[in-house]
């Protein structure tokens, strides 16, 4: 691993907002379900005296929930959530400055100047292409976003819905940033003619392609790698124009009723054991100390991952998020 730079699932049990016990915290996350389960298990091993309740929601759904609960937040820590959403001023206002132990291991460009958040992990866009469907339908192997415009791919492409999926939004935002907005929207409208479905989750397009329902699922690299490891007949394709990407951040809620243990959990997120877990699961890790797994390389992920990543402007993505999503919903949502 080069040091750079989804539906709700409930793990643990919520307590009423007024009930507080020492040694118990609630964490909100948008890590994928299997990632979240692995990371949480590691945290519980290292922090056995803290009961960690966790709510997992897709990026967009978690954003909506946090805004809806802003008058009375129900959690102590936001963990592994898209930086593009974290830098929303309404969210930043809910966060308390905190410098966790080990923060010096995270390069300054991957943390907030006011210490309200830091990013340890990230993910990037990739296509999951079903080799058997390509052969059966005499389709060429796509290597770029432009290839998906070919008439042969009509009805053969699925993408995440950017209004609910962080992966979907980074795909749209990266296309607009790479091409410029005018050309970018023209491209997306042309691509829409070949899209069979916009799916709520970032991982499900890959799963649908892996199952042979469609030829191409626009998803993210780790889902492609996992599905290849599970034996699905797919190829991971990183688009030649570059892979849009997102960083995943962690922060302390001002409203936390158990800041002592919330801070211990955040400190753990930068511990050696936590970082070792990240390297097992994430294609982008901002903290040094691990090695890219062999199966990542075998699936086609370059060891110099920075060479394929779009240089994302996260502030632009955040500032323009509502406008971009409104435009997408008006023009393309079904």
Q: Is 333 helix (H, G, I), strand (E, B) or coil?
A: coil
Structural tokens at position 298: 């075998």
* Residue 316 placed within a domain: yes
* Lowest mean pLDDT, pick from 64-73, 102-111, 145-154: 102-111
Q: Is the pLDDT of residue 19 over 50?
A: no
Average per-residue pLDDT in the chain? 91
Same domain, 133 and 229: yes
Q: Is the pLDDT of residue 5 over 50?
A: no
Same domain, 314 and 194: yes
Same domain, 56 and 105: yes
Same domain, 163 and 151: yes
d(CA 232, CA 323): 38
Q: What is the CATH number of the domain that holds 68?
A: 3.40.190.10
Same domain, 39 and 81: yes
Same domain, 68 and 145: no
d(CA 49, CA 8): 26
Q: Is the pLDDT of residue 20 over 50?
A: no
Bridge partners of 79, per DSSP, are 29
Same domain, 48 and 85: yes
* Residue 2 placed within a domain: no
User: What's the domain range around 21?
Assistant: 9-122+247-295
Same domain, 265 and 183: no
pLDDT at res. 47: 97
pLDDT at res. 22: 54
Query: Do the beta carbons of residue 179 and residue 173 sit within 8 Å?
Result: no
* Residue 1 placed within a domain: no
d(CA 57, CA 166): 11
Q: What share of the chain is helix, strand, coil (3-state, %, to 5)?
A: 40, 20, 35
The residue among 315, 291, 277 whose CA lies nearest residue 109 is 315
314 versus 140: the higher-pLDDT residue is 140
pLDDT at res. 181: 97
Same domain, 323 and 205: yes
* Residue 3 placed within a domain: no
Q: Is the pLDDT of residue 292 over 90?
A: no
Structural tokens at position 225: 């790698």
* Residue 270 placed within a domain: yes
Structural tokens at position 29: 């996350």
Same domain, 109 and 158: no
* Residue 312 placed within a domain: yes
Same domain, 235 and 257: no
The residue among 297, 218, 282 whose CA lies nearest residue 248 is 282
Give the model confidence (pLDDT) of 256-278 as tens digits: 999 999 999 999 999 999 999 99
* Residue 274 placed within a domain: yes
What pTM does this model have? 0.77
* Residue 197 placed within a domain: yes
Give the model confidence (pLDDT) of 34-63 as tens digits: 999 999 999 999 999 999 999 999 888 999
Same domain, 230 and 131: yes
For residues 153-175, average pLDDT: 95
Q: Is the pLDDT of residue 17 over 60?
A: no
- Phi-psi group of 180: left, alpha or beta (phi > 0 → left; psi -120 to 50 → alpha; rest → beta): left
For residues 1-21, average pLDDT: 41
Please tell me the total number of residues recorded for the chain in this structure: 334
Q: Is the pLDDT of residue 291 over 90?
A: no
Query: Do the beta carbons of residue 228 and residue 98 sit within 8 Å?
Result: no
- Structural domains counted in the chain: 2
């Amino acid at each position: 691993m080069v040091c750079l730079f989804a539906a709700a699932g409930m793990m643990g049990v919520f307590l009423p907002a007024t009930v507080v016990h020492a040694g118990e915290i609630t964490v909100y996350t948008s890590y994928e379900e299997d990632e979240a389960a692995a990371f949480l298990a590691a945290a519980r091993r290292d922090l056995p005296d803290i009961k960690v309740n966790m709510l997992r929601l897709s990026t967009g759904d978690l954003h909506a929930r946090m805004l809806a609960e802003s008058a009375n937040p129900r959690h102590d820590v936001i963990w592994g959530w898209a930086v593009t959403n974290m830098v929303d001023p309404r969210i930043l206002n809910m966060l308390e400055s905190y410098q966790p132990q080990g923060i010096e291991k995270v390069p300054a460009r991957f943390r907030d100047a006011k210490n309200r958040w830091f990013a340890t992990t990230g993910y990037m866009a990739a296509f999951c292409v079903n080799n058997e469907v390509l052969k059966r339908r005499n389709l060429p192997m796509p290597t770029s976003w432009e290839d998906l415009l070919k008439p042969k791919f009509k009805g053969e492409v699925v993408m995440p819905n950017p209004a609910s999926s962080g992966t979907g939004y980074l795909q749209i935002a990266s296309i607009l940033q790479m091409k410029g907005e005018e050309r970018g929207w023209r491209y997306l409208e042309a691509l829409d003619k070949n899209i069979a479905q916009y799916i709520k989750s970032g991982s499900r397009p890959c799963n649908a392609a892996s199952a042979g329902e469609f030829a191409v699922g626009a998803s993210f690299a780790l889902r492609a790698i996992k599905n290849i490891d599970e034996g699905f007949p797919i190829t991971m394709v990183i688009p030649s124009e570059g892979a849009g990407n997102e960083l995943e951040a962690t922060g302390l809620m001002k409203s936390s009723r158990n800041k002592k243990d919330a801070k211990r959990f955040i400190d753990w997120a930068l511990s050696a054991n936590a970082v070792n877990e990240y390297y097992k699961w994430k294609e982008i890790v901002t903290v040094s100390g691990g090695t890219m797994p062999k199966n990542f390389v075998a699936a086609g992920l370059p060891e110099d991952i920075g060479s394929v990543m779009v240089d994302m402007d996260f502030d632009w993505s955040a500032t323009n998020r509502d406008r971009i999503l409104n435009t997408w919903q008006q023009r393309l949502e079904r």
